[in-house]
Amino acid sequence: MVQYRALLSNGTFHDSRVERAVVLWQVMSQVIVDANQKATSVTTIERTPFAINDLYDLDWLEDPRISPDGQTIAYVHVQVDRVQNCYRRAIYLVPVMHGQPRRFTSGQRQDHTPRWSPDGRRLAFVSTRDDERGQIYVIRVDGGEAQQVTFMPQGAREPAWSPDSTRIAFLSACDEAERMREDRADADTTPVAPADAWEERRIREAEEHAEAQRHDPRVITRLPYRTGTDYFDNRRHHIYSVAGPTADLEWSDRPQPRRITDGDIHHSAPVWMPDGQALLTTATRDPEADALLGYYDVLRVPATGGKPEILTRSGYSYFDPQPAPDGSMIAFRRLPEERLLAGGYRVALIPVAGGEPQSLTAHTDLSVELFRWHPNSQGVFFSAGWRGTTGVYHTDTEPDSTKRHVELQVNTNRMVSAFDVGGAGTVAFIADTSDMPGNLFVRHPNGEEVQLTQLNAALLAARQVVPFEEVQYTAPDGEQVQGWVAYPPDFDSSRQYPLAVHIHGGPPIMWGPGYRSMWHEWQVCAARGYIVFFCNPRGSDGYGEQWRGSIRDHWGEADAPDILAGVDFLVAQGHVDSARIAVTGGSYGGFMTTWLIGHTNRFACAVAARGVFSLISQYGTSDAHELIESEFSGYPWELQEELWYHSPLAHAHKITTPLLLLHGELDYRTPISEAEQLFAFLRRQKKTVELVRYPREGHELTRTGEPHHRADHLTRTLEWFDRYCQP
């Protein structure tokens, strides 16, 4: 038809039928154009802004693990159960070379920590399906029912297969009396099956009653004595080993675990040496150190039990030991003891026979989050944050650091939260981007990258995802600060909008536009009509050791100017109404929120969540009291005036900004007494202040707290903003 139309236009011939056909073609073409425009318009109209309740529909992924043959990846898929107000975790499998993911476990409760047997035939995992404390199960990869292989009174976690696939090492907790009973030669440890469901329930209730009586009253002799949302119970984490099942088990056939560590110290997740004769772990260096954040040494423990060999020494705290696949070297992360926050994690290694540790990553100025050996034992993959993104890098084990090559494997336009290495260097990783939270990818050794999941695709297709704009601005001392801005979906550059300033915790945390636990909140805040701003001020991770350590002894004073300079920068762009600026943050961000409103009245309102408001009382009530010792180089009785000066509570009398305090009642990192003090100080002065207490919640309220509480937390934050910024 196009050819006929051209012939008519140049007068080659004239035919009325052709003319009519051309007219019909023109009419139909316009109909098609109109239909396409209408469809595009409908699609735009159907895309709605993000809402608070969307958090119930946002899934995420965890813990990818590549099978020994390199053909399959196991990972954990997390979903929110809105009705039961909890989370469900199920293990999925997906082929490395394309293919559809398939659910492998039921996910009715919590199925997590998938671990392949070295022969590739079975998968071990932890589940709460029959025990809230979690036990270890094994399932054949080719199908069948999962078999429970541990029946530990305090649960079991961190399964690790022996190299020959015959045994599973794991962690479980016990106290001295329980260890003595386990060690008695005449102890009858054969489990007896309950006669029926009634007897099983009675046994469980009796155990729960006896456990409650152990701590009535509770005797405290050490620090810390609580963390998360629970109190410690004088039990220590020890390594056990149990035979992996080879057939369906009856009660009388249950494999009996053997404890292979001892002592009144905690041990970390076990890792087998390639020869199967020993395991690596870390253990508390000094049981009387009264420390939560450190200090640990690397131990090599005989697989049959016995005296462990200490492979490291003081000066650093050590984490995550992993042997090279050929058994020649042992790598681990380490942290300098005198700079627990500012120092940053480095990967170091030692010969398997022992020796002086050699740092592999110190020359990069990157703080290592995770690492894995290359299968050829000639290099290490590691993830680290840098300038708002998190990539996966590779470094060889060249002894001369000046010749050591570091190569970026997974590009840094996203934030990698977890990864694994298999095959000849295949990397499976979970990454969040500014427009698409948490999907699973695989990078093949030839550089080809494939996305294996389409998480939250339906929800994202129905929502208006606002983009993030990176900004660089100058702090008062001339340093450049990196931040990001998101504008409302209907942004009009001729108007002015309220500004919502978000401040991260840590303080050595790094935010970027792909930061999963904040992404939804930023999207909802922008959809509510706010320009959203966040940055990585001094003290943040991702900019090197000097930037991270620059707030030491200067909390508030060193980093507040970076945040305020960002506000000034945005106001100067002309799109922000300077009379309608809100500020919020959690943990250290709560500290900084209240520090700011105690030193300036430029904010219309503030929301401080889980904040530290008195550095003196924080030291005496937190599970991480050594944080103050490390960051201020001393103790409260030596630095009373300095710590009080750097406490927002000391400046509470200057606060005029309406303040909302949000806090979990079981927060043992920043106890609720922090919020109670600030509320009382402000209320006695008749300032505008409210305190909201969340029962059952700890410090992870906005990340892993009850879904209903997370939704309420965001609802109250935005309603407080609206009250003062959008009347």
> Cα 369 to chain center, whole Å?
11
Rounded Cα–Cα distance for residues 81 and 84 (Å) = 6
* pLDDT for the residue 1: 34
* pLDDT for the residue 239: 98
Give CA separation, 267 vs 134, 240, 319, 353, 522, in Å: 18, 11, 11, 21, 39
- Which helix (H) or strand (E) segment is 713 a member of? helix 707-725
DSSP letter, residue 559: T
Lookup result for tokens 């390199």: 70
pLDDT in tens, 367-378: 999 999 999 999
Residue 185 reports pLDDT greater than 60 = no
* pLDDT for the residue 247: 56
* pLDDT for the residue 716: 98
Angle, CA of 448, 410 and 318, to the nearest 5°: 135
Counting residues of the chain whose pLDDT is more than 90, the rounded percentage is 76
Instruction: Assess contact for 523 and 465: CB atoms under 8 A.
Output: yes
pLDDT in tens, 51-63: 999 999 999 999 9
Residue 599 reports pLDDT greater than 50 = yes
pLDDT in tens, 301-356: 999 999 999 999 999 999 999 999 999 999 999 999 888 778 899 999 999 988 89
pLDDT in tens, 519-538: 999 999 999 999 999 999 99
Residue 721 reports pLDDT greater than 80 = yes
Task: Collect all residues with Cβ–Cβ distance below 8 Å to 25 and sequence separation of at least 6.
Answer: 1, 5
Task: Collect all residues with Cβ–Cβ distance below 8 Å to 429 and sequence separation of at least 6.
Answer: 64, 383, 392, 410, 416, 418, 419, 420, 440, 441, 442, 443
DSSP letter, residue 220: -
Beta pairing, strands 463-464 & 48-49: parallel
* pLDDT for the residue 233: 87
Task: Collect all residues with Cβ–Cβ distance below 8 Å to 54 and sequence separation of at least 6.
Answer: 459, 463, 520, 524
| Torsion sign over Cα 51, 57, 63, 67 | negative
Residue 8 reports pLDDT greater than 60 = no
pLDDT in tens, 600-614: 999 999 999 999 999
Among 339-348, 541-550, 707-716, which stretch is predicted with the lowest mean pLDDT?
339-348
| Torsion sign over Cα 268, 273, 279, 282 | negative
* pLDDT for the residue 287: 83
Which pLDDT band holds residue 394 (cuts at 50, 70, 90)?
very high
* pLDDT for the residue 196: 78
| Torsion sign over Cα 509, 515, 521, 527 | positive
pLDDT in tens, 628-648: 998 998 999 999 999 999 999
Residue 43 reports pLDDT greater than 70 = no
* pLDDT for the residue 188: 52
Residue 388 reports pLDDT greater than 60 = yes
Gyration radius of the chain's alpha carbons: 29
pLDDT in tens, 83-96: 999 999 999 999 99
pLDDT in tens, 409-451: 987 789 999 999 998 899 999 999 999 888 999 999 999 999 9
Among 13-22, 253-262, 299-308, 649-658, which stretch is predicted with the lowest mean pLDDT?
13-22
Among 5-14, 244-253, 369-378, which stretch is predicted with the lowest mean pLDDT?
5-14
Tell me the average pLDDT of the chain: 90
Closest CA to 269 of 319, 333, 229: 319
Mean of the pLDDT values across residues 290-300?
87
